[in-house]
């Protein structure tokens, strides 16, 4: 049977880097096995949900450009959750706990297992108190004193087991009638026929409770696989509160990363294709992905206080930036240029040529507007070391002569420009490097970049002549 997976973020903050990786691993698993990807917004925590957070999740997922096959919101499915909880109660596998406190969440700390006297209430007494309007929390009746061991096989961490006596009577419904995470999640997974649950390792301990809920609902439990955590260089778990922009997907988007680079990078955090490949296309990732390639060890995201970007991600983006066909890259470059008040070269063929030449030294799309500003505007900075190249003996005079010769060329190509430049150097008895270095400085304000004569093509004939004349 083709797998059905789900990604279930809660709209309580922006899309976390770890959540993005979970979505990607679910997506790859489904696509590798011709399965279905479901996006389910787990929005039953009404006190913490925000529309801003929800939009941030959609923005981040849309930027990743992977898509999904079906979409649900838990808040639209509350009747299902309550009916599922009632079904468990009717089977005698849950009970009403009238010892309602402010901390209605599961009391899993400090050895708490259940409130004395509540498990033993007769159904008649429980019904009477509920009918009288007395508030209650509906709790799962975890088997006690039976020697029951809850077991499941995890696709990453292997066999898992826990004695039922060590599991607290966790809540299914709060006193306001709202389902807890455990109840809503399992009811939806059962109803949507989810076959595989792939999520973060921090949910591993919850799975014992979920196995019990699936049993109570009379449905087979999905196959579980828990992913290693993402941690900071100091070993701390990445958190929105502590690490800020580092953990946000939009940080990389706004830094000018290609969406596929980010997908590729996140895949390498905790997974490998086992053949030392790092730069991979989308199809290559789909073909190679399996849970067997997921590591158990936590994965480190490298960053510093000064730079939130992982150096490996930056390197990987530079490789993808050079590999993408110029025609495919052009709309992305155009968008970032226009956002910064710059216009692409015309005609389109010249724009493609500029992209082809300039990207050889760039790492992000933003480099086109910063280091590559000289290709799209006459207002660009002149680096001190570039100015020194122009101040070399005879450099300015020779560059003005080169401008005149280029103006008279019948054909403007790298080859014809190089011939004129070298002819001038020979005629004047100077090294060609004086003209090569000087022209690069004049045309770009920099001393390094694409090949010297590719720069002429990237800047364009008209601008080349103007800039060399003005030195």
**CA-to-CA distance for 182 and 162, rounded, in angstroms?**
17
Q: 452 and 343 in one domain?
A: yes
Distance of CA 223 to the CA centre of its chain: 24
| Active-site hit among 87, 237, 240, 469 | 240
Q: 253 and 344 in one domain?
A: no
* Nearest residue to 220 (alpha-carbon basis) of 196, 244, 204: 196
Q: 443 and 382 in one domain?
A: yes
Residue 200 lies in a domain: no
Q: In this structure, what CATH number is given to the domain that contains residue 258?
A: 1.10.1160.10
The number of folded domains in the chain is 3
Q: 242 and 276 in one domain?
A: yes
Residue 10 lies in a domain: no
Q: 373 and 269 in one domain?
A: no
Q: What confidence score (pLDDT) does residue 235 get?
A: 92
Q: 243 and 168 in one domain?
A: no
Which residue range(s) make up the domain with 235? 231-321
Q: 311 and 365 in one domain?
A: no
Domain boundary residue, one of 321, 349, 382? 321
User: What is the pTM for the complete model shown?
Assistant: 0.91
Indicate the length of the chain as a whole number: 471
Catalytic residue check, 240: yes
Residue 452 lies in a domain: yes
Domain boundary residue, one of 321, 348, 365? 321
Residue 463 lies in a domain: yes
Q: 439 and 342 in one domain?
A: yes
The tokens 């720069």 sit on which residue? 455
Q: 167 and 143 in one domain?
A: yes
Q: In this structure, what CATH number is given to the domain that contains residue 383?
A: 1.10.10.350
Q: What confidence score (pLDDT) does residue 103 get?
A: 44
What does the radius of gyration of the chain's CA atoms come to, in whole angstroms?
31
Residue 390 lies in a domain: yes
Phi, psi of 162 (to 5 degrees): -150, 135
Q: 237 and 140 in one domain?
A: no
Per-residue pLDDT of the chain in tens (471 residues, 90 and over written 9): 899 999 999 998 889 999 999 999 999 999 999 999 999 999 988 888 888 989 999 999 999 999 999 999 999 999 999 999 999 999 999 999 999 764 444 555 557 899 889 999 999 999 999 999 999 999 999 999 999 999 999 999 999 999 999 999 999 999 999 999 999 999 999 999 999 999 999 999 999 999 999 999 999 999 999 999 999 999 998 887 788 888 889 999 999 999 999 999 999 999 999 898 999 999 999 999 999 999 999 999 999 988 999 999 999 999 999 999 999 999 999 999 999 999 998 899 999 999 999 999 999 999 999 999 999 999 999 999 999 999 999 999 999 999 999 999 999 999 999 999 999 999 999 999 999 999 999 999 999 989 999 999 999 999 999 999 999
Q: Tell me if 424 sits within 8 A of 401, measured CB to CB.
A: yes
**CA-to-CA distance for 205 and 71, rounded, in angstroms?**
27
Q: 344 and 311 in one domain?
A: no
CA angle 296, 298, 301 (to 5 degrees): 145
Phi, psi of 4 (to 5 degrees): -125, 115
Domain boundary residue, one of 153, 184, 215? 184
- Report in angstroms the alpha-carbon separations of 210 from 10, 162, 170, 171, 220: 18, 13, 10, 12, 11
């Amino acid at each position: 049977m083709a797998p059905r997976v789900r990604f279930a973020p809660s709209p309580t903050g922006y899309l976390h880097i770890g959540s993005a990786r979970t979505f990607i691993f679910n997506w790859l698993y489904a696509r590798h096995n011709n399965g279905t990807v479901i996006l389910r917004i787990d929005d039953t925590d009404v006190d913490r949900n925000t529309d801003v957070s929800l939009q941030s999740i959609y923005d981040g997922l849309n930027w990743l450009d992977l898509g999904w096959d079906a979409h649900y919101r838990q808040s639209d499915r509350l009747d299902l959750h309550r009916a599922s909880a009632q079904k468990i109660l009717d089977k005698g596998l849950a009970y009403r706990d009238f010892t309602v406190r402010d901390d209605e969440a599961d009391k899993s700390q400090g050895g708490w297992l259940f409130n004395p006297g509540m498990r033993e209430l007769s159904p008649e007494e429980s019904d009477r108190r509920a009918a009288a309007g007395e508030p209650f929390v509906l709790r799962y009746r975890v088997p006690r004193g039976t020697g029951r061991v809850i077991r499941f096989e995890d696709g990453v961490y292997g066999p898992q087991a826990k004695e039922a006596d060590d599991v607290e009577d966790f809540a299914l419904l709060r006193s306001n009638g709202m389902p807890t995470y455990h109840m809503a999640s399992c009811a939806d997974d059962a109803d949507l026929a989810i076959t595989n649950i792939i999520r973060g390792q921090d949910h591993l301990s919850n799975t014992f409770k979920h196995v019990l809920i699936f049993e109570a609902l009379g449905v087979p439990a999905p196959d579980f696989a828990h992913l290693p955590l993402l941690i900071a260089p100091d070993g701390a778990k990445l958190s929105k509160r502590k690490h800020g922009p580092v953990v946000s997907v939009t940080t990389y988007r706004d830094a000018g990363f290609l969406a596929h680079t980010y997908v590729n990078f996140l895949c390498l955090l905790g997974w490998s294709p086992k053949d030392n490949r790092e730069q991979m296309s989308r199809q290559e990732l789909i073909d190679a992905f399996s849970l067997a390639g997921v590591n158990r060890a936590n994965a480190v995201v490298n960053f510093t206080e000064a730079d939130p970007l992982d150096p490996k991600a930056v390197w990987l983006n530079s490789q993808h930036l050079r590999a993408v066909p110029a025609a495919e890259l052009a709309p992305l470059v155009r968008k970032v240029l226009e956002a910064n008040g710059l216009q692409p070269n015309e005609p389109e063929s010249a724009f493609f040529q500029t992209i082809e030449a300039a990207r050889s030294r760039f790492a992000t799309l933003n480099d086109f507007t910063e280091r590559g500003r000289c290709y799209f505007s006459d207002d660009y900075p002149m680096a001190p070391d570039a100015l020194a190249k122009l101040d070399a003996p005879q450099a300015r005079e020779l560059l003005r002569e080169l401008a005149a010769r280029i103006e008279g060329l019948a054909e403007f190509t790298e080859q014809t420009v190089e011939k004129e430049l070298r002819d001038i150097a020979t005629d004047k008895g100077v090294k060609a490097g004086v003209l090569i270095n000087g022209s690069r400085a004049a045309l770009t304000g920099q001393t390094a970049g694409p090949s010297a004569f590719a720069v002429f093509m990237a800047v364009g004939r008209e601008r080349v002549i103007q800039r060399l004349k003005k030195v």
